[in-house]
Structure 1
Amino acid sequence: MEQDGPSLLAARIAARCATQVNRLTRQIVAEQEAVVPGLATLPDAIKELEIASTTRHGLRLFLRMARGEAVTDADMRLFRERAAQRVGDGVPLAYLLSGYMVAHRALWRALCAATRPGEDAGLHRLGELILTALERTTTAASEAYLKEVMLAERGKSLRAVARTLLSGRPAGDVAARHGVVLEPGYYVLAFALGDPSPGPGGRRRARAIQATLDRLADEPVLSSLDTDGGHALLPLRIAVPASRLSRRLVDAAAPVHTGMAVAGDIAEIPGAARQATRIAEVARAGGRPSGVYGLRDVLLDYHLGAPGDSGTELAGLLDILEPALVGTLDAYFAADFDRRSTARALGVHPNTVDNRLARVSTLIGADPRTSRGVMLIGAALTARRLNTAAVADP
């Protein structure tokens, strides 16, 4: 589109600011921290990555507008996404909008400083564009923020119903009060997060899991998710292959180990939740990769990790061994009983591996080079890992 005189001047002034985007971004973020309440207390990762990247995006978007380029709905997506995230971070809408005002004032000052004598008409045009940009940005952010608030309120209702179902208490009245129609049966999912983190990071992982489940089910899914993990109830009528569910959850919130059990009716939900929780914990403690696991996927480990005298005795079988011998056994089993591969993994000579295995046989009375020894020591290693994980994360 052909530009008029003021528009050409505006583009010329804006072009002088193109090389200042990074400097302006740092300046704006610093001003926002000083002016906007609560912003300085956000984690550095949010300030340095998200807020700064959004600011750079906004500056570059404005420079495009100044060149006469059209702004599309897709260009506003980042503002919507960041606004929704600020809800979970506990930032009030007024503070969010105040941050945008700070940014646009800083941009206006930079444009004024870049204007030369005789270019007033171009600066006036840029003033109009700044108001247009501010309107679009704040509108997109406000709409996304308020939508996220409504979703969060709905989420509270869903969590209330989910917690009632998981506790085994009658849920009919609670569900009716919150407008939730109960399903005949559910897949019960339990989530064990590899590195549970409090604050915004943990809340975001929980929201990412929830959003993934909602998209797969094409409807809000009942859940009790928090920063440590939790449970979700996926209706049995929704046929989602475990491989697809696993892939989506790992993409959204890795590392995450998910246990899955089936509750054929409402009364079975608490028992299925306990089983799913233990499946997730066993998968994580056993060093399995992130993903979704059913009972059959971890059946041996699940069985060996059962509480009781025999489980405790089995886990303690290897306590007499020094750490180097236990490490050799771990490497030996990981190498599928190949002594040379074990030696390479440990950085020792194969004869050293043989000597250590012989010493293990002498100390515990079970030879890891025999079928009986393999079964017993393999079970002991598994029980030991599960017992250690239980002590570390009661």
Structure 2
Amino acid sequence: MHWPHPAVAGQLSYGAPGRDISTDADRTSGGSRAARPGTERQTQNMITATTSTLAGHITELRTRVPHLARAAIDRYIEGTVRYAETGIPGYLHRESVHTIQTLLSVCLRSVLEDSLDVPGSLREIIERGTERVAEGLPLREYMRCWQIGFDVLAEELHTTIGAGHPGLRLALTRTRQTYDCILREVISAYELHAMDLLAAQGDDHARVIDALLRGEQWPGEDRGQVPAHPVIALLHLGEIPGENSADPQIRATTAKRKVRLLRAALARTLPGQWLTDLHPRHGRLVMHPPATDLDALAAELEQVSGATVTIAVENATGVDDLPRAAATAAEVLDTALRCGRTGKSSRMTDVALEHHLAHTSSSLPVLLERCRALRDRPELIATLQAYLAHNLDRRSTAHALFVHPNTVDNRLTRVHELTGLDVRITTDLLTLAVATHALNG
């Protein structure tokens, strides 16, 4: 965005430092300036001093931007009924302060900078701000927050620069022009995101997936989009702060935001998606064979959403095989969660032993009876689980449990005392492994 040179009638006209700045009288008096060198020097000195003073005021205001942004958000919260009873969620307060802080910084920069890429300077916060669409925030309410931010800035310009300063009008004009440009960008992004959200909500993938997993045929007319060898992925999504809030509005807002962030990350990082069904605590994907590292995908999804993401994957030979593949993936996911294999992807080959040990048989009650004394000792079960998971290494086990290695030794000794089973004897260790998996379920 390039600013034209402002003409402020009856006052000094200011551009960026170093610009040729003259009074209205100078611009109309022609050659009379050359006849009065003393007056010219005095006028130029006054202009230079005034421009320097204005730049100093703007620099000072920029150092106070964080405080002004917090004051603007506090004023916004006081005047809205939306958060009157519950208060504004912590994440939303932080994001709102950051947004207004950026708004104020860009407006102040525009006073002294001739060429300023306003949309580019605000692209990140405008994109992040469109999340308010999915949270149900009306556009009018959304824009009221931005308007209060600008009102606070205008008040500070009057107070800091002073009504008698010839540069006040320039500062107000330029910041207003910048704010108007920002409003156009914000409203456009908000409306586009609202249309995208409506389109996404119109996709009934859950119904289609349910039908395919019941063994029904693909209901669509275009079979060209159906993967020849589909892959099903089941997701377990951990809880994030806010989902367990006592306030139902905060719970709902947090859950919607979490799903929205996950959906956007999947669209960005996982090509080949076919059908997607996401909920706050679980999800289902049917896709073409993925070229993406699914462990890296789980880590990426956790980074963007804050939730631990565990993925179970199974290949199908065709659409008709999806019911079998989904059942296998469900068993893989259950086993992975039971044995602590979270935050990554798993296939049956990764959890085959744990899956086998977790299955019931007529001999399982006998094995459980030998370990009955451990039922009310969760710290001993946790120690055995960690000991097995870390290949019987006492130091690694201690590190995982945040205890001293001697504590691990003492607990294993206590297991021996209560059950008669010794982890140093292979058959006893296998018995404890089977019982631990069963007790953990």
Give the structure-2-normalised TM-score.
0.74
- Aligned-partner SS, 1:240: coil
Task: Give, as a single letter, the amino acid of the residue that structure 2 aligns with 1:104.
Answer: F
Q: Are residue 46 (structure 1) and residue 91 (structure 2) matched?
A: yes
Task: Give, as a single letter, the amino acid of the residue that structure 2 aligns with 1:283.
Answer: A
Task: Give, as a single letter, the amino acid of the residue that structure 1 aligns with 2:149.
Answer: A
Given that residues 185 and 264 in structure 1 are in contact (C-alpha distance below 8 angstroms), is that contact kept between their aligned partners in structure 2?
yes
Bigger mean CA deviation after superposition, 274-283 or 88-97:
274-283
Task: Give, as a single letter, the amino acid of the residue that structure 1 aligns with 2:429.
Answer: V
Distance 1:8 1:317, change over 3 A: farther
Matched residue, 1:251: 303
Matched residue, 1:88: 134
Aligned partner (choices 411, 414, 419) of residue 356 of structure 1:
414
Distance 1:149 1:318, change over 3 A: farther
Matched residue, 1:240: 292
Given that residues 166 and 270 in structure 1 are in contact (C-alpha distance below 8 angstroms), is that contact kept between their aligned partners in structure 2?
no
Q: Are residue 337 (structure 1) and residue 392 (structure 2) matched?
A: yes
Distance 1:342 1:99 in 2: 52
Distance 1:303 1:73, change over 3 A: farther
Distance 1:102 1:247 in 2: 38
Given that residues 371 and 419 in structure 2 are in contact (C-alpha distance below 8 angstroms), is that contact kept between their aligned partners in structure 1?
no
Distance 1:312 1:67 in 2: 80
Q: Are residue 141 (structure 1) and residue 186 (structure 2) matched?
A: yes
- Aligned-partner SS, 1:274: helix
- Residue-by-residue CA offset, 1:196-245 (whole Å, 9 max, x unaligned): 62423322332222222211345775211011122122223x52233443
Task: Give, as a single letter, the amino acid of the residue that structure 2 aligns with 1:194.
Answer: G
Distance 2:108 2:408 in 1: 66
Distance 1:349 1:185 in 2: 50
- Residue-by-residue CA offset, 1:121-170 (whole Å, 9 max, x unaligned): x2222222222222232222222222222222232233x13432234365
Structure ranking higher in helix proportion? 1
Task: Give, as a single letter, the amino acid of the residue that structure 2 aligns with 1:201.
Answer: T
Distance 1:203 1:256 in 2: 16
Q: Are residue 187 (structure 1) and residue 231 (structure 2) matched?
A: yes
Task: Give, as a single letter, the amino acid of the residue that structure 1 aligns with 2:127.
Answer: E
Given that residues 247 and 291 in structure 1 are in contact (C-alpha distance below 8 angstroms), is that contact kept between their aligned partners in structure 2?
yes
Distance 1:336 1:199, change over 3 A: same
- Aligned-partner SS, 2:156: helix
Aligned partner (choices 327, 333, 341) of residue 280 of structure 1:
333
Distance 1:350 1:79 in 2: 50
Task: Give, as a single letter, the amino acid of the residue that structure 2 aligns with 1:358.
Answer: H
Aligned partner (choices 109, 116, 121) of residue 162 of structure 2:
116
Aligned partner (choices 64, 74, 78) of residue 34 of structure 1:
78
Given that residues 229 and 318 in structure 2 are in contact (C-alpha distance below 8 angstroms), is that contact kept between their aligned partners in structure 1?
yes
Larger Rg: 2
After TM superposition, the structure 1 = structure 2 runs for residues 293-332 of structure 1, keeping only pairs within 5 Å, are 293-306=346-359, 318-321=371-374, 323=377, 325-330=380-385, 332=387
Given that residues 119 and 185 in structure 2 are in contact (C-alpha distance below 8 angstroms), is that contact kept between their aligned partners in structure 1?
no
Task: Give, as a single letter, the amino acid of the residue that structure 2 aligns with 1:186.
Answer: P
Distance 1:81 1:65 in 2: 21
User: In the TM superposition, what is the alpha-carbon distance from 1:28 to its structure 2 partner?
Assistant: 0.5
Matched residue, 2:143: 97
Task: Give, as a single letter, the amino acid of the residue that structure 1 aligns with 2:126.
Answer: R
Matched residue, 1:166: 210
User: In the TM superposition, what is the alpha-carbon distance from 1:100 to its structure 2 partner?
Assistant: 0.9
Task: Give, as a single letter, the amino acid of the residue that structure 2 aligns with 1:112.
Answer: H
Distance 1:368 1:176 in 2: 60
The gaps in structure 2 that reach 5 residues or longer are 1-15, 22-46, 244-250
- Residue-by-residue CA offset, 1:100-127 (whole Å, 9 max, x unaligned): 111111111111111235414x222222
Bigger mean CA deviation after superposition, 181-190 or 89-98:
181-190
- Aligned-partner SS, 1:239: coil
- Aligned-partner SS, 1:260: strand
RMSD between superposed Cα atoms in Å? 3.4
Aligned partner (choices 416, 420, 427) of residue 372 of structure 1:
427
Distance 2:394 2:225 in 1: 59
Count of aligned pairs between the two proteins: 378
Q: Are residue 383 (structure 1) and residue 438 (structure 2) matched?
A: yes
- Aligned-partner SS, 2:330: helix
Distance 1:368 1:226 in 2: 42
Distance 2:198 2:272 in 1: 15
- Aligned-partner SS, 2:286: strand
Given that residues 188 and 269 in structure 1 are in contact (C-alpha distance below 8 angstroms), is that contact kept between their aligned partners in structure 2?
yes
Distance 2:426 2:97 in 1: 60
Distance 1:343 1:30, change over 3 A: closer
